[in-house]
Amino acid sequence: MKAKQWIKVIVVACSVFALTACATKHKQDQSSINDANAAYSDNAQASGLGQGSNFGDESGGGRHSGRVYYFAYDSNVVQEADKPAIAAQANFLLSHSGVSATVEGHTDPRGSREYNIGLGERRAKAVANILIAKGVNPGQIHVVSYGAEKLAVQGRTEADYQQDRRVVLVYYKR
């Protein structure tokens, strides 16, 4: 009877040890990722340009390229105004081969869950395709669709819906 208890203790201890070892593997210098992720905030601007990042800030006029890109209703067409900012993100990924990006597609809450997941995926793939066309390694890019699961704002006005129709780039160390 005591042998079974010891076996359980050993199995639990080994599991805890394995989880701890996996967690410590990713303790690396996160400064470049933190800098890249600083552009994304909960108060994303409706212009499609985030705050706090200087990627692709070619104008010098205070416009920072962001990692949030907005879409028209029921559309997965990337706006022309967002393409230079996406190109700047591609340059970042090209110069930081150890960094990957998750391209998250989002929708407003209108429509069925299945439709919104598909639309979010099409939006995310549209941005990912631009990154790949600029030379980013496809292995650095992961596409995910949240549909209407992660709304930017809790509201039911057209302005609220506009903020929900977006793609967000999130960087992480590979």
Q: In this predicted model, what pLDDT tens digit does every residue of 145-164 receive, in sequence order?
A: 999 999 999 899 999 999 99
62 DSSP assignment: S
**How far is residue 127's CA from residue 89's CA, in Å, rounded to a whole number?**
10
Return the domain boundaries, the chain.
29-173
**How far is residue 37's CA from residue 125's CA, in Å, rounded to a whole number?**
20
Assessment of whether the complete model's pTM goes beyond 0.85: no
- pLDDT tens digits for range 81-96: 999 999 999 999 999 9
**How far is residue 21's CA from residue 51's CA, in Å, rounded to a whole number?**
36
Per-10-residue mean pLDDT for the chain, 174 residues long? 69 61 46 51 35 33 59 97 96 95 96 97 98 97 96 92 96 87
According to CATH, the topology of domain 29-173 is 60s Ribosomal Protein L30; Chain: A; (3.30.1330)
The string of DSSP letters for 15-33 reads HHHHHHHHHHTT----HHH
Place of tokens 């992660």: 150
What are the residue ranges of helices labelled H in 46-112?
83-95
Q: Which two tokens stand for residue 145?
A: 């669709």
Contact 38, 52 (CB under 8 A): yes
Q: How many residues does the chain have?
A: 174
